[in-house]
Structure 1
Amino acid sequence: MKLPPGPKKPLWLLGLQFEVDPFGYLDAISKSYGDIVTVMSGSAPIVYISNPSGIKEIFTNTKEISASGALNQDFAFITGKKGVLQLDGLIHKNRRKLLMQAFHGARMQACGRGICELTEKMMSKQAIGKPFVAYPIIEDITFQVGIERVIGLHEGERYNKIKHLFASLLKLDRQSLIVKIFSNIFGEKDLGKWSPQGYLLHLRRELFQLLSTEVKERRQQADFSCTDILGDLIFARDETGETLSDEEVRDLLLSPIFAAGDASGTAISWSLYWIHRLRNVRERLLEELDSLGQNPDPMSIVALPYLNAVCNEVLRIYPTQLFTFPRLVESPIELMGYEIHPGTILLGNIYSTHQRDDLYPNPKEFRPERFLEKQFSPYEFLPFGGGSRVCIGGTFALFEMKLILATILSGYQLELVSKRPERPKFAGLICSPASGVKMLMRGRRQDQGKSQPLAAGLV
């Protein structure tokens, strides 16, 4: 078998190089080996594809290429053994359909005003003239929105504990690869909260127990008026007509909350960075937002073309996941001129696809206008993955992203604290801003006059 070209270094060394400079590493790999690259994991080949036609093949050839849930077992520790990532076939299709009900249509629209109000509430707490780190504030907002959409909780002791546990588990998951290796070597045994592994297990037990209690109590209440995901799952029927078990319901809640808090929070933080780094982008966006007048309807905000283009450009440069979920070659296939044998793992390289100069001229340049000038296919622009494993909450994430950004930009004058470029830090599936995007609150826009330019920023 002639595999596509690729680096000959051991996987662990490539992993360290990737963590130090994820984008630089991927750029160098693409430059050296092209848009189909093989990395060996022992004797098992992993092939990364950043060519749209190749990505289309791995998404659409479901006969010879499978999107097996077994390939996502590494995520089961925090998403549960019966989470949507671990499911296959008709069961996977059924559970995805159940979960997606809360992220589309009238239900999504109904929560728009609440997202704007929550954002205003959180931003109003920032002291004028004092710097703050945007990322944790935005993440707090997105976790609150996610927990309310998924579980229906927005206040109280249990809500606070669940939000804290989700954030704590996410923080531990973002440990550097070196720390994780150290933990694996010296922390395998559960020594209680004082060992890395023990503390992680403690947090997981706490979270799973709280969610299990919430599932049991909600099932006893049998309230058909609830419009959150938990309510849908409690009364849902599986592919055989049976109700879901409490364990199934609990595990299905996990991925949507992590995605809502983590992916959305990261994308919005990067948006604040670019918007306040580039004066022309900020001014054009403010002009579009101001055209809606005072207290615009959330759906009018979501429909704004330049706001949509800005969000898409952020997601192009910093997609919510750098790679698609893995696929497994089940039968011999030909892919981009190479004969790929069964057992090979295929991954769509989302980041490198978004950096193709033939699709996105001057790809390092932040230029939202490219999304007003051209419509890209789902194999050319795929920030939420694609195929049967496309992110369930992708549409909602973009919806939430627009409303939170619009609320902040319309109401407040902010500026970046540092003139230095924000560096990406690899964290799980995505790259978050390394410094968290440090900003300064100058005050409310309405207090200083919307017609006045913002405080001097970067150009």
Structure 2
Amino acid sequence: MIATTVQDSANQPLSGLFDVQSLPGPGVGAVRQAWEYWSSPERFLQRCAQLGDRFTLKMPGHGTWVCLTNPADIKRVFLADSGVLQFSEVLRRLTPDEVALGPVVHLEGPSHIRWRRMTLPSMQGQRLSVYEPSMVAATERMLQRWPWGESVSLTSSMQALALEVMLEIVFGLADVKRREQVRQHAMAISAELGSKRFLLALVLGIARGGRWTVGFSRLRSLVTAMDLPMREELQERRLQGQTDRPDVLSMLLRATDSQEIGMSDDEILNTLRTLLLAGQEATALQLCWTAERMVRHADVLRRLDDTISVGDDSYLDAVIKESMRVRPAVPITARYVVQPLELDGLTVPAGMFVVPFIFHVHRRPDIYPEPLRFRPERFLERDADPYAWIPLGGGARRCLGGPFALFEMRVILRTILQHARFRLTTAPDEKIVHRQIGLAPQLGAVVTLDHRG
């Protein structure tokens, strides 16, 4: 079970470490840390696991990172005001998100709250059930083409499926030609983001303090090309008053803020880009990790088979949450310190990063007994603590599409399990490698599917 210390640890004071400079670190220089993080993330994460509740990392071009694995510290970070901690500055310095997604991801304070309130209704609550038939249909179409009985990597299939789902839900029954154009451009962008060329440009951009000027011309061209059919669709619907369709674009066209002002075309376009690119990539990665874990545990496969057959999704939800615990698609989240941050017994100066270390808080034995064991039952025995289970981040910057992603993974996996059985494997665990800024199975999650008899 999840230990009862989850809530306790979120309130326990820390002691004995009062100065950032006194915090432990990996014992190697900034360049070596960066090299190991990108070239061998699994070894790097294992090294950091020995450093305790608070430790520091140093990355070229970014000074000191104060890394946190205690829920008490993480709670303070997630609840801090944007005048003290900012997420947008992290994105500017550590990711080329503005190149791919646009300025909407860098909003802070009231402007971010406004955008979030206008976008959220399309991504959560009862709205999700409207999307389920499209998710089921897309998954069944994928299975019709499946090479039954063959060992295959899931990565490309899950990326294509997640993109198909997003296109259907974002655009609905919109112009087929435009939707196909968006699909082709989005696939090209995904391929670019997964290329060695992009990884090198990303590492160099980070080392240069977030200057995304070298190596991103192809990405910019692809994004511009994808924008054209999306903008055409958006403007046509606005002009013709077609805002009553059951898709995200129509909801964004109808959305207004507290002053009854709607989103501009550019705001909507940036939002659509964020959903299509960032949303589908993270979901595809997590689906791969969930399958990679499932096929190595006979008891999990048996219980899934039993529960799915009687229409019970509770165990499947627990399997998804447990996979996000032991193999989060993103290992960290971060905030940039604008004003000194007071933690218990520690002041983090302005100009540093504070980094809730998702990967390691998920492996705390005082919160998750036998933390390396894949045991979904722990999420049936106790609800996930919002400061100890954080694969979607937290606070005002919690992943906007989190509820949608969890729902989508449930529907996709349930549909697969209703038509197929995952074959148990004795293969070693797949190593953790980088894909873009996320963590992926080295072999792409190799699985074998058999027809459900």
Deviation at 1:221, TM superposition (A): 2.1
Change (3 A) 1:136 1:68: closer
Change (3 A) 1:138 1:155: farther
Change (3 A) 1:436 1:155: farther
Which of 170, 176, 189 is 2:190 aligned to?
Answer: 170
Indicate the larger mover: 18-27 or 413-422: 413-422
Distance 2:174 2:234 in 1: 16
1:18 aligns with 2:26: no
Partner of 1:437: 445
Deviation at 1:397, TM superposition (A): 0.9
For 1:54, the aligned partner's letter is D
Which of 364, 367, 381 is 1:359 aligned to?
Answer: 367
Distance 2:357 2:174 in 1: 37
Deviation at 1:170, TM superposition (A): 2.4
The answer on whether the counterparts of 1:350 and 1:382 sit within 8 Å (CA) in structure 2 is: yes
The answer on whether the counterparts of 1:320 and 1:384 sit within 8 Å (CA) in structure 2 is: no
Partner of 2:147: 127
Q: Deviations over 1:382-406 (max 9, x none)?
A: 1100011100111111111111111
1:411 aligns with 2:419: yes
1:306 aligns with 2:305: no
Distance 1:237 1:99 in 2: 10
1:231 aligns with 2:240: no
Q: What is the SS of the residue equivalent to 1:15?
A: helix
Report the TM-score, using the length of structure 2 for normalisation. Answer: 0.86
For 2:318, the aligned partner's letter is A
Deviation at 1:154, TM superposition (A): 6.9
Change (3 A) 1:196 1:153: farther
Change (3 A) 1:179 1:345: closer
For 1:65, the aligned partner's letter is V
Describe how 1:225-264 pairs up with structure 2 within 5 A.
225-238=244-257, 240-264=259-283
1:156 aligns with 2:176: yes
Indicate the larger mover: 226-235 or 86-95: 226-235
Deviation at 1:258, TM superposition (A): 2.2
Partner of 1:90: 110
Q: What is the SS of the residue equivalent to 1:328?
A: strand
Q: Quick one: percent identity of the two aligned structures?
A: 26
For 2:136, the aligned partner's letter is C
Distance 1:24 1:229 in 2: 41
Describe how 1:43-122 pairs up with structure 2 within 5 A.
44-62=63-81, 65-73=84-92, 74-81=96-103, 83=104, 85-122=105-142
The answer on whether the counterparts of 1:416 and 1:437 sit within 8 Å (CA) in structure 2 is: no
Change (3 A) 1:287 1:88: same
Indicate the larger mover: 146-155 or 380-389: 146-155
Distance 1:229 1:148 in 2: 9
Distance 2:411 2:181 in 1: 26
Q: What is the SS of the residue equivalent to 1:111?
A: helix
Distance 1:364 1:145 in 2: 32
Deviation at 1:355, TM superposition (A): 1.1
For 1:309, the aligned partner's letter is A
5+ residue gaps, structure 2, are 1-18, 206-213
Change (3 A) 1:180 1:93: same
Partner of 2:209: none
Deviation at 1:147, TM superposition (A): 2.0
Partner of 1:144: 164
Deviation at 1:105, TM superposition (A): 2.6
The answer on whether the counterparts of 2:296 and 2:426 sit within 8 Å (CA) in structure 1 is: no
For 1:37, the aligned partner's letter is F
Partner of 1:340: 348
The answer on whether the counterparts of 2:86 and 2:335 sit within 8 Å (CA) in structure 1 is: yes
Distance 2:202 2:268 in 1: 34
Q: Deviations over 1:348-381 (max 9, x none)?
A: 1111110111111221111111112223310011
Change (3 A) 1:263 1:153: farther
The answer on whether the counterparts of 1:323 and 1:429 sit within 8 Å (CA) in structure 2 is: no
Deviation at 1:176, TM superposition (A): 4.5
The answer on whether the counterparts of 2:68 and 2:356 sit within 8 Å (CA) in structure 1 is: yes
Q: Deviations over 1:203-230 (max 9, x none)?
A: 1221122322222222112113123222
The answer on whether the counterparts of 1:417 and 1:438 sit within 8 Å (CA) in structure 2 is: no
Change (3 A) 1:433 1:43: closer
Q: Deviations over 1:177-221 (max 9, x none)?
A: 895159969xxxxxxxxx964432321221122322222222112
Distance 1:181 1:232 in 2: 36
Partner of 1:278: 297
The answer on whether the counterparts of 2:189 and 2:223 sit within 8 Å (CA) in structure 1 is: yes
Which of 55, 61, 70 is 1:37 aligned to?
Answer: 55
Distance 2:165 2:82 in 1: 38
Q: What is the SS of the residue equivalent to 2:57?
A: strand
Q: What is the SS of the residue equivalent to 1:419?
A: coil
The answer on whether the counterparts of 1:259 and 1:393 sit within 8 Å (CA) in structure 2 is: no
Q: What is the SS of the residue equivalent to 2:423?
A: strand
Indicate the larger mover: 394-403 or 170-179: 170-179
The answer on whether the counterparts of 1:147 and 1:153 sit within 8 Å (CA) in structure 2 is: no
For 2:379, the aligned partner's letter is F
Change (3 A) 1:25 1:155: farther
Change (3 A) 1:388 1:409: same
Change (3 A) 1:437 1:333: closer
Change (3 A) 1:210 1:14: farther
The answer on whether the counterparts of 2:99 and 2:219 sit within 8 Å (CA) in structure 1 is: no
Change (3 A) 1:111 1:182: closer
Aligned residues: 423
Change (3 A) 1:175 1:49: farther
Partner of 1:220: 239
1:322 aligns with 2:298: no
